[in-house]
Each structure stands twice: as structure tokens, then as C-alpha cells.
Amino acid sequence: MLYIIGLGLCDEKDITVRGLEAVKSSSRVYLEAYTSILLVNKERLETFYGKEIVVADRDMVETQAEEILHGADKQDVSLLVVGDPFGATTHIDIVLRARSSGIPVRVIHNASIMNAVGACGLQLYNFGQTVSLVFFTETWKPDSFYDRIRENMGLGLHTLVLLDIKVKEQSEENLARGKKIYEPPRYMSITQAVSQMLEVEFLRGENVLSPKTTLAIALSRVGCDVGADSTQQRIVCGTLEQLSEQPPESFGEPLHSLVIVGKRPHHLEVVYAEEYAVCRETWRRVAAEVYGCALD
């Protein structure tokens, strides 16, 4: 049996009881470590789970999946995934490969940013398409996210923006030379994300992401609300302009996500999120005057 097990959002204790039982029954355990990251190291997982864990990087998961699947038709093998197993298309591909090899698969779900984003007060059924925002380069600045946000806006729906992470990535030079030299990990900050979005707004000029009148919510380490202050969940709301003016440390430590508020927010959403606003007066004024939200 191949188990694909969601680990949740924060640390080794977020695994479900069912997931932990599957891990303990497995002869091999892999940790997928590039679509997202946990906030604890592999050794803490091994101590808590009582199992040795093999880190599966991008190369192993995408091009050497047969190593993970080997023998899973005769014994239990677990692939651990941060968040929920189906939060990335990579894991769907693993399931399809297992099925084609006659290997039974069992998926054990867990919390992910896709549902935990509700911590900011916005109602989950008011979200539209989720988009990803990648690190821009001098020659590559993809802006398809802008069109998806515009489509969501047109339907009055919120947009969850997943910010890029770079883990065990090679530079173009080392990749071209075939050198297995990896760049230090990078995690996109809220400051950089807002800057890139406003850069695209300036170039496109369609007023989808107007700095002064677009409400947004920044989230950090969602689900991690215990322990030292540096590991705690943090939520900050405001206009894009206000978020761009905040010091980077005000948004907490990575990983970060960003929500662009849809144009038809419910008044309870606005009132709930107001608790995290940079300026409550501005938050309420823009919600009422620009978004048409009826507030007392």
C-alpha cells in the first residue's frame, strides 16, 4: 500500500491519528520537501513518529518516483506531504503512477492553507480561483495571476495568492553545466509579493489592483498559534498601499500567503478582519465606499 499522508501546517504534532498509524506501519517513509515546508526539521519528525525519514526532493518526486513506489505492492510505503496531499498536482501524478503499476493507494487528508485561510475571517465559499505568484526575474515576469484575480473580482470572489518558495533550486549557470550546486532557500515575503503585484498593475493599468482601494490580507504561519512568538500565526489587513508601507517584520516569519478581497464582502467578513487592520478607519471606509459593504 502507498500511503500519501497530509502533515498539516505547522509541526510534527499536526499529523492525524490515522496518518500516524500508517507511518508506523510503513517499511519506508518519505517526506516531500519542495512544494511546501514544515516549521520543524526532519529529526523532530523522526523522533515523534519513531521512523527514519528519507527527504524526497523535486528530482526524486518528479523524475525518480519509481524509487518511492518500489515494493509498495508488497509492503506499506508512506509519502508525507506538508498540508493536504492534493494541494499540489505533483501528488496526483504519484497516485496515477501507482495505479498504473497496480499499487493500491490510500490518501489521508489534513489541513492546508486552502481551508485554514478562513482564519482571516473571510468565508471559504466566497473564494474563487487560487493563484500562484512566482519570483520575478529581469527577463521573466509572468502576469497570468492578474487575469485570474480580475475574473474573481468580477464575480465578487476573494483570491488566495500562494507565494513562491525556492528550495534546493539550481542557478541557470549550474543547471546548464550539470553541477549539483544548489542555491540557498528563498521564501517570497509579503513586501515582495505586493511590490510585484503593483508592478504588474502599473504595466497593465486596468485598475484591478489599485494600491489605495484594493483591500488585502497578509497571512503568516497559519495554524501555528502556539510556542514562541516567532513561530506564531500572524494576520495583517489593509490596502495594498498600506501593506507595501509596513516593515517586513510586521508580517511575521515565512511561509506567507496573501488574499485579495473580492468586491462583494459580507459585513461580518469585514468586521472580523478589522481586528487585524493596519488602520481600522481606512479598512472600514474602503470596504463601505469602494466595496459597497453595509456597515453599522
Could you read off the pLDDT of 73-93 as tens digits, one per residue?
Answer: 999 999 999 999 998 777 888
pLDDT computed for residue 58 by the predictor: 73
pLDDT computed for residue 88 by the predictor: 77
Q: What percent of the chain has pLDDT over 90?
A: 76
Q: What is the pTM of this model?
A: 0.91
Could you read off the pLDDT of 208-260 as tens digits, one per residue?
Answer: 999 999 999 999 999 887 554 556 899 999 999 999 999 999 999 999 999 99
Could you read off the pLDDT of 150-202 as tens digits, one per residue?
Answer: 999 999 999 999 999 887 666 666 666 676 666 678 899 999 999 999 999 99
SS (H, E, C) the chain: CEEEEECECCCHHHCCHHHHHHHHHCCEEEEECCCCCCCCCHHHHHHHHCCCCEEECHHHHHHCHHHHHCCCCCCCEEEEECECHHHCHHHHHHHHHHHHCCCCEEEECCCCHHHHHHHHCCCHHHECCCEEECCCCCCCCCCHHHHHHHHHHHCCCEEEEEECEECCCCCHHHHHHCCCCCCCCEECCHHHHHHHHHHHHHHHCCCCCCCCCCEEEEEECCCCCCCCHHHCCEEEEEEHHHHHHCCHHHHCCCCEEEEECCCCCCHHHHHHHHHHECCHHHHHHHHHHCCCCCCC
Query: Pairing mode, if any, of strands 28-32 and 77-81?
Result: parallel
pLDDT computed for residue 47 by the predictor: 95
